[in-house]
Amino acid sequence: MVNAGKAASMSGRKKRENIHNWAATIVVFFLALGALLPIWWIFRSSLMSVAKLNEYPPAFIPKEWLWSNYSKALETFEYWTYFKNTFSIIIPAVLFGTITAIFCGYSFARLRFKGKNAFFSICVSTILLPGMVTLIPLYIVWTKFLGLGDTYWPLILPFLTGGGFFNIFLIKQFIMTIPKDLDEAASIDGAGRMRILWTIIVPAIKPAIVVVAMMLFIQIWNDMLQQIIYINSMDKFTFAIALTNFTGSFGTNWPVALAATFMTILPGIVIYAIGQKSFVEGIVLTGMKS
């Protein structure tokens, strides 16, 4: 009788868990649809004529797919030039930011040096400093003192400091979850600090590295303000700047403008799709102790 009661209780609990799982799945599914709706709406609008786009009620799926809107957009929107310019900033900035974040995070997590706690506290306080406060002083330094106006260097060199202290803090927290016994064992075998870092620590914190790289990519991709401030020449325009000018040049021809818009967001979607598994894993594991 007791075993039968336990079995019935476990069966009822399992049914409730299944119901909750299905309910959570349905909620997440509709939330995902809500997040993807704007992207679909841009894509669907880019394949319609101006007349069809202005019809009410709007069609969720176009009856006629006008791929010619993309060729029209490419006639005046220098997509590949802007692609090259944008990634001329993103690739070195993400690379420098990720590598320096690893070094700094490792230093705070493993090394002992005088004033470490005080320096860490000062770095943490920089998170509270709004970017608008430093915008004008940095502009004066980069353009007046260093003469780097209308170049990509003011948009790349700041990432030599880890791309922001949050990235350093994230790497530090992941490294702290790795037992120090591994470091000591490798040290006994004759490994130096650099070898320990790149052969033991880095493979173990791969999810955190992907998170940092993805966050840096998103930060630079969306940073239109600083790009407008430092870049003046049209041949150096990035996607963010060029798209702003392009959408205004076509007046009411929104399908062509939206075709250019979709082409600019497509690389970001592809890159996120490639790294999303490690990105989500890194977010889930952030701060957890193993």
pLDDT interval class at 152 (50, 70, 90) = very high
Task: List CB contacts of 83: < 8 A, sequence separation 6 or more.
Answer: 239, 267
Taking the model in full, what pTM does it have?
0.80
Residue 285 has pLDDT above 60, yes or no: no
Task: List CB contacts of 127: < 8 A, sequence separation 6 or more.
Answer: 164, 165, 166
| Distance of alpha carbon 268 from alpha carbon 36, whole angstroms | 14
Q: Which DSSP symbol is given to 261?
A: H
For residue range 227-236, what is the model confidence (pLDDT) as tens digits?
Answer: 999 998 888 8
Contact 135, 155 (CB under 8 A): no
Residue 287 has pLDDT above 50, yes or no: no
Q: Give the mean pLDDT of 7-13.
A: 63
In this structure, CATH architecture of domain 73-285: Orthogonal Bundle (1.10)
Nearest to 238 by CA among 9, 28, 80, 6: 80
Residue 120 has pLDDT above 60, yes or no: yes
Residue 290 has pLDDT above 60, yes or no: no
Contact 255, 69 (CB under 8 A): yes
Kindly give the residue spans of alpha helices, DSSP state H, lying in the chain: 2-46, 50-53, 68-76, 79-110, 116-125, 131-140, 153-156, 165-176, 180-188, 193-196, 202-204, 206-222, 224-230, 239-249, 254-285
CB atoms within 10 A of CB 94: 23
Specify the amino acid at residue 85.
N
DSSP per residue, 127-180: GGS-HHHHHHHHHHIIIIIS--TTSSHHHHGGGGGTTSHHHHHHHHHHHHTS-H
DSSP H or E run through 61: none
Q: Give the mean pLDDT of 107-112.
A: 87
For residue range 13-26, what is the model confidence (pLDDT) as tens digits?
Answer: 777 777 888 888 89
Residue 247 has pLDDT above 80, yes or no: no
* Paired tokens of 260: 């250019």
